[in-house]
Structure 1
């Protein structure tokens, strides 16, 4: 399915429906707040610190504030050889000091996130490195991560887990969305993470989107906008950390992953206004601290062929000028292929800043990029006034979020915030309101599993075991046969054999539609069809994208969880057994396989019992 085909179905052929959604489908949802510009520390208590700091900063220090980089290592001062090829120094603290970094970003693959005490200690160590240099200014770091929840979760248990954006869209509750963000933000802040690159603000109108999918709240702009606004409030107003709406101007209608290629969005300007813009407008109206760019080509907004990240018409003309956004603009990772196709890494950094971006995320060529930006300022390609405006926005954000007054966290207080029983219970309750029963033709659900022999098979070692444990807790005798995301013919045959003598089968899928990447031989589709052919009662559970049902449409019983996080899988076990009644409603259309113009299950569909 081409992205343009689904765009036409959603916006043009279905224009009346879209208009109705924009006008009224959000009834019962929180409405966007009136436009509120991002608070400015230059007019509040922090104006003295911002002005004094900028007056004493060197050019090198100012340019350093424009970079947010990943650093390798579980603590600040221990050398890690992986830093040397990137930065020429070994320890995370040395990286921070060498470039006067504005911020760092945490990932599991950099060893930055292992457990809450380690994360808090690393955050404090990096703040100390930033604040104790031999320099006239003392500037705390932005410490960032991508804790969108659901499929993009950097910090796992014991931190409280939620099923992610699309699940919240299925729950339809802006109060739940705000609460989930508030709890996530409070726990991040306790670990010294003061910036969350969330919420995803893309409107996923393309069922074959390989990079957004369940990271989006919905294919409905109104629902997505309401949820985005609620989460901005949760992160910023309730938890007092910075939130970042992404990926501007909208990554929801592409079948290309910008991590590995250069997507093109074929929406018209009117389609952008109707579909892509509302969540970003909602974020701005709720005072969002940061907006992250998208590495994609959007010809209707800029016909130069440049990615949006490097586009002055999009970053300055549209985002700053037309939408009136006054906060910090940050790029998506500059290591992604979507922004590296046309220019070298050093030139990309300069072009992004010249386009209107304030901060550069994860440049893969730090020495070259840092030198190039310094050179661009000295040559006048980037004016001193423009540089100062960018730095001022960054410093104002740091004041606004309390980093200047309170840069360190109390590691001894982690247990009072992170993964508390109250937070975990709230997460369970919210998740129970998101699970969606899409199909129950044979009234297989709810299932009285006590004394029944149940095979749990399909995707995910932890997923299948967690689901089996949930059913066993209700008295089922469970057998687990995990087959992975791309089951071979042998694995399918073994699962079918394991179904013999069982009273019921529960099979989990994960992006079974994606034969391009996840499951090139269609093994998950074959598995489900083979299990259905046994004649046993089969419950299909889509543990990520809800679109899988289109590829085995004769499955009589189908549940969507939108996430394979244990919190979602435990909830679906409660739904299967009837301990919880399903109340989730599809936040997207599910199109017929191979026919994006035909809807198999519409937005808003959902059964209960």
Structure 2
């Protein structure tokens, strides 16, 4: 019995010991959980603290940037106010959405080149052959005296797409009449036209004399550059108003005639240069004439100028060099023979030595070269109309002025194109020069 009690005591002691161990294990687990919760809380606090710190730092940077922007804006305002106060007497240009943007020179040039390319593609060979001619309304239509652009003009321009028409006093009767005639002619033409007159100033002015206009002075009586500029501007103003876009002037001959600027090459160069610039600023192309010197009597046959190259360079060439520098749209080449540049017995207007080698080569001119009138004895005594026209183009001219027989001259150019004596590329060179001038004015 005692032994059983002892065993029970032992069992109870073992159970108590096991209970203590289990209790300690539970306490350790609870302590471990508390420590994990504490670490998690601390970590969470740290994360929150970091986020808050970053937010505070970002807010500080934002405030700094906003402050800087405010300061800069204030500085700009103060600068504008200061600039305004310092320029109270200066005009301020305000650009509105309606203001037209002026294209850059390169952009204008590109537009013009594109138009030229397009026009050349549209032109037939027959149209190109006609476009290099500069004729009177009578030569174009076949009538005795043209004072109106009617059905005959329309039909003629459809058959012969000439590049220029020159008018005389026979064609000008009144302000309204010439305006209507020129406007209608321009509208009838498939391609841009030169509508020209010889208007030098003073009594040597076709339009002014025919219409009873005054207010301009002949070149010989101009008193300095300002006077030349004013006179050319006045000429250009009424010419463009009537519808003329080319003036067959000024004359650059060195002489005492009323139509010249005098015998001094440098003075002539100065005055003619201003004259050309002023005229073209009004929208009227200037045609400087007549290279290298003017004939004294166009009805007497071929004249000869014996000036040497050195003498020409020291005198007659100087005004033309200035004219080229001033941007003369056209230069007319004389029917005179000048052996030092044209060769013996050859008119300069038909000479490659005068046009291509000298005017274009030595003097560097790349504008429109127009022949002198082809219906005068200096030409007709030695050449038929077709021979003269072909010779002029081969020599380097761009436009044939007043052939004796327009249709014969036109047919001569066509035949030369068909036989290869003149290439289409060569003709395109001249047409490009003509179109460039007209399209450039339209782009202004």
Q: What TM-score do you get using the length of structure 1 for normalisation?
A: 0.52
Q: Quote the residue 2:318 is aligned against.
A: 278
2:240 pairs, out of 168, 189, 193, with: 189
Q: Which has the higher helix share?
A: 2
- Aligned match for 1:246, one of 289, 302, 314: 289
Q: Cα deviations across residues 459-504 of structure 1 (Å, max 9, x unaligned)?
A: xxxxxxxxxxxxxxxxxxxxxxxxxxxxxxxxxxxxxxxxxxxxxx
Query: Match for residue 201 of structure 1?
Result: 252
Give the Cα–Cα distance (whole angstroms) in 2 for the partners of residues 381 and 72 of structure 1. 29
Change (3 A) 1:266 1:93: same
- The reply to whether residue 235 of structure 1 matches residue 279 of structure 2 is yes
What is the Cα-based RMSD across aligned positions, in Å?
2.4
Q: How does 1:32-47 map to 2 (within 5 A)?
A: 43-47=109-113
- Distance in 2 (CA, whole Å) between partners of 1:40 and 1:273 is 34
Q: How far off is 1:344 after superposition?
A: 1.0
Matches of 2:156 and 2:204, distance apart in 1: 26
Match of 1:360 in 2: 400
Q: State yes or no: 1:53 paired with 2:119.
A: yes
1:40–1:400 CA contact under 8 A, matched in 2: no
Q: Indicate which of 207, 213, 217 corresponds to 1:163.
A: 217
Say if 1:40 and 1:316 are closer, same or farther in 2 by CA, change over 3 A: farther
After TM superposition, list the pairs within 5 Å mapping 1:255-334 onto structure 2.
256-334=296-374
CA contact (8 A) 1:65 1:394 kept: no
Alignment of 1:307-456 (within 5 A): 307-402=347-442
Alignment CA distance shift 1:258-1:41 (3 Å): farther
Q: Could you give the per-residue CA deviations for residues 145-177 of structure 1, whole angstroms, max 9, x where no partner exists?
A: 101123421112454442311111xx2x11110
C-alpha distance in 1 between matches for 2:408 and 2:138? 19
Retained in 1: the 8 A contact 2:165–2:195? yes
Q: In 2, are the aligned partners of 1:144 and 1:194 still within 8 Å (CA)?
A: yes
Contact 1:41 1:399 in 2 (8 A): no
1:154 to 2:206 alignment: yes
CA separation in 2, counterparts of 1:201 and 1:321? 20
The aligned counterpart of 2:129 is: 63
- Displacement of 1:81 in angstroms is 3.6
CA distance in 1, matches of 2:375, 2:272: 26
In 2, distance between residues paired with 1:129 and 1:83?
19
Runs of 4 or more, structure 1, over 6 Å off, are: 39-42
In structure 2, relative to structure 1, the CA distance for the partners of 1:53 and 1:247 (3 Å cut) is: same
> Structure 1 pair 44/242, CA: closer, same or farther in 2 (3 Å)?
farther
Count of matched residue positions in the alignment of Structure 1 and Structure 2: 335
CA distance in structure 2 between the partners assigned to 1:353 and 1:40 by the alignment: 30
Structure with a larger share of its residues in strand: 1
Is 1:83–1:91's contact at 8 Å kept on the other side of the alignment? Answer: no
Q: How many angstroms apart in 1 are the aligned matches of 2:417 and 2:273?
A: 36
Larger radius of gyration: 2
Select 2:155's aligned residue among 89, 94, 98.
94
Distance 1:242 1:272 in 2: 26
Unaligned runs of 5+ in 2: 1-104
Residues in 2 aligned to 1:164 and 1:104: alpha-carbon distance in whole angstroms: 24
Instruction: Call closer, same or farther: CA 1:113–1:40 in 2, change over 3 Å.
Output: farther
Task: Tell me the secondary structure at the aligned position of residue 246 of structure 1.
Answer: strand
SS at match of 2:289: strand
Q: 2:342 touches 2:354 (CA, 8 Å); kept in 1?
A: yes
Indicate if the aligned counterparts of 1:83 and 1:92 stay in contact, CA closer than 8 A: no
Question: Would the aligned equivalents of 1:70 and 1:362 in 2 still touch at CA under 8 Å?
Answer: yes
Structure 2 CA distance for aligned equivalents of residues 44 and 160 of structure 1? 41
Q: Compute the displacement of 1:247 (Å).
A: 0.2
- 1:42 Cα deviation from its structure 2 partner: 8.4
Cα distance in structure 1, aligned partners of 2:252 and 2:441? 22
Please report the TM-score for the alignment, with normalisation by the length of structure 2: 0.71
Corresponding position: 1:222 with 2:262: no
Q: Name the residue aligned to 2:144.
A: 82
Q: 1:103 aligns with which of 159, 164, 167?
A: 164
Task: Indicate the structure whose relative CO is greater, using CA pairs within 8 Å and at least 6 residues apart.
Answer: 1
Q: Using the alignment, how far apart are the partners of 2:106 and 2:133 within structure 1?
A: 21
| Stretches of structure 1 lacking an aligned partner (at least 5 in a row) | 1-38, 132-138, 208-212, 407-609
Q: 1:382 to 1:80 in 2, by over 3 A?
A: closer
Query: Structure 1 residues 262 and 179 mapped into 2: Cα distance closer, same or farther (>3 Å)?
Result: same
Separation (CA, whole Å) in 2 of partners of 1:40 and 1:113:
40
Give, in angstroms, the shift of residue 114 of structure 1: 1.5
Retained in 2: the 8 A contact 1:151–1:215? no
